[in-house]
Structures are given as structure tokens and as C-alpha cells.
Amino acid sequence: MSLFITFEGPEGSGKSTQARYLYEYLQNQGYPAILTREPGGTPISDAVRRLVLDGQWTTMEPTTETLLFAAARAQLVGEVISPYLNLGGVVLCDRYADSTYAYQGYGLGRNLEELRTITLFATGGLLPHLTIYLDLPVEEGLERKRRQRDELRERRELQQLTLPLPHLPPPMPSDQEAWNRLDAREVAYHQRVRDGYMDLISADPERWRVFDARLERETLADQIVAAIVPFLSDVRRLNDER
């Protein structure tokens, strides 16, 4: 059997960090696993990602934003997630449809039923078996991201100073990755997003597992592994003779 696990939570709560830890764990344990993220994960979806997160598009309509996320998701599901699940693998996805409900629904006030219809159209109704929720007060998450952005800038500046000109600097996350158009929205918006996640969780508690994102990275990673282990019993390992 296959397993589809998504990571959700407010900005800077450690989704990407924990998704990577879990991916490494699964690989070490010999499970067929892929790690992907939203928006992105395919060349087409990555192009949409650049568009939707670009800070220069200050006039983007909420509807446009919603449909762009849905378009990127449709491509990711069709090209990557569904085929891999059909092979019996484990798919880890850093954000998925719940982000649409939390950000465009609760955050921007779009109608949740309409968002569900658009999501159904985009995904064919594909739902995660399990969703890891990393909970963090909004200000703490934004502070983590500001720090991350500043560290990246410093590293880039240092590199420009130390590298002789003909050598191009190695690839590094862009400023856009560390601090994007959506991060720049007001704190109240991010607070609505977090409250929205709480609503989504209480409406479907079976699927969600909630973690305190203020814990140490390794402690969290251990807790997340403990939560998913029961779901792995039906997944065949790569060297499984069954």
C-alpha cells in the first residue's frame, strides 16, 4: 500500500526542516519515498511558484492567486504524486490543499466551499492519509523567517567579497525563497491562517497529528517518526521479498 503524508503549519514553523528529516529516515529504513513541495515539484509548477511568490505582483487578485496554486497542484498530482502512489511508494509533500483552505480561505476570506470545488477539480479528490501539523505562534515563525533571510543575505554578501570574479557563486536559496510575497502580509492575516488550521483540524481530527513546533528539531523529528510508524506496516520496503 502507498502512503501520502503532508506537512502543514504557519510560516517558519519548520515544515521543510521536518519533511527533510522524515524523508531521510524513510530512506535509511529502505522505504521507497519521495519528498516534494507546494507550490512546485515539477518544472511547470516551479514556474508557477516563481510567479505566485514574486513580491513585485502586489496587485494579484485573490482569485488569481487561488487558481495559480490550484494549477501548480494539478500538475504536481498528475506528474509526480499520483504515479508514485500508484507504485506503492511514500510521498511526503511540504504543504498541500489544506494550505489553500488556511491561506486563501481563512487568511484572505475566500469561500471555503468554492475552494473545495476548485481543489477537487485540481486533485481529482486525492487526500493525504496523514497530515503533520507544526504549530507555532505567528510572531515566532515570522521572526525565524526574518532571521533566515538576514543570514542568507549575509552569506551572499560574504561570498561576493571572497570569490574572485570569474567564479559564479554556488546556488543558494534566493531572497524570494526566504521571504516572499505571502510572508509580507500583515500579522493579523497570519493569525487568521493559524486559527483556520485549528478549525480544519477539529473538523477532521483523524487525519491530523499536531506537534509543538517550539521543540528542538531532533525531538520533533523523533515524535513525527513515532506518529507515522503505525502507517508504515502496509508499505513494502525496497528489499522486501513478500
Give the binding site for ligand ATP (CB under 6 A).
Answer: 9, 11-17, 144-145, 148, 215-217, 220
Residues 31 and 235 sit within 8 Å (Cβ to Cβ)? yes
Q: Nearest approach, Cβ of 223 to ligand ATP (angstroms)?
A: 11
91, 102, 83, 75: which is closest to 191 by C-alpha?
102
Of ligand ATP, Mg ion, none, which one does residue 129 interact with (CB within 5 to 8 Å by kind)?
none
Residue 16 or 191: the one with the smaller Cβ distance to Mg ion is 16
Q: Edge-to-edge strands of the sheet including 208-212?
A: 33-37, 90-94, 3-8, 130-135, 208-212
Binding of residue 176 to Mg ion (CB under 5 A): no
Q: Within 10 Å of residue 58's Cβ, how many Cβ atoms?
A: 8
Which one of ligand ATP, Mg ion, none interacts with residue 200, CB within 5 to 8 A by kind? Answer: none
Residue spans of beta strands (DSSP E) within the chain: 3-8, 33-37, 90-94, 130-135, 208-212
Residue number with CB closer to ligand ATP (15 or 110): 15
| Residue 17 lies near Mg ion (rule: CB under 5 A) | no
Name the packing angle between helices 138-162 and 187-203 (round to 10°). 120
- State whether the Cα torsion 112-116-122-128 is positive or negative: positive
Closest residue to bound Mg ion by CB: 16
29 binds Mg ion (CB under 5 A): no
Q: Shortest gap between Cβ of 237 and ligand ATP (angstroms)?
A: 27
Residue 95 beta carbon to ligand ATP: minimum distance, rounded to whole angstroms: 7
* Closer CB to ligand ATP, 12 or 196, in the complex: 12
Nearest distance in Å: CB 227, Mg ion: 20
- The Cα–Cα gap between 227 and 240 comes to 22
Contact call for residue 16 and Mg ion (CB under 5 A): yes
Among ligand ATP, Mg ion, none, residue 13 binds (CB under 5-8 Å by kind): ligand ATP
The 3-state secondary structure of 149-161 reads: HHHHHHHHHHHHH
Which partner in Mg ion, ligand ATP, none is near 12 (CB below 5 to 8 A by kind)?
ligand ATP
Contact between 207 and 129 under an 8 Å Cβ cutoff? The reply is: yes
Nearer to ligand ATP, 15 or 209 (CB): 15
Q: Determine if residue 125 is left, alpha or beta; phi over 0 gives left, psi from -120 to 50 gives alpha, anything else beta.
A: left
- Give contact residues for Mg ion (rule: CB under 5 A): 15-16
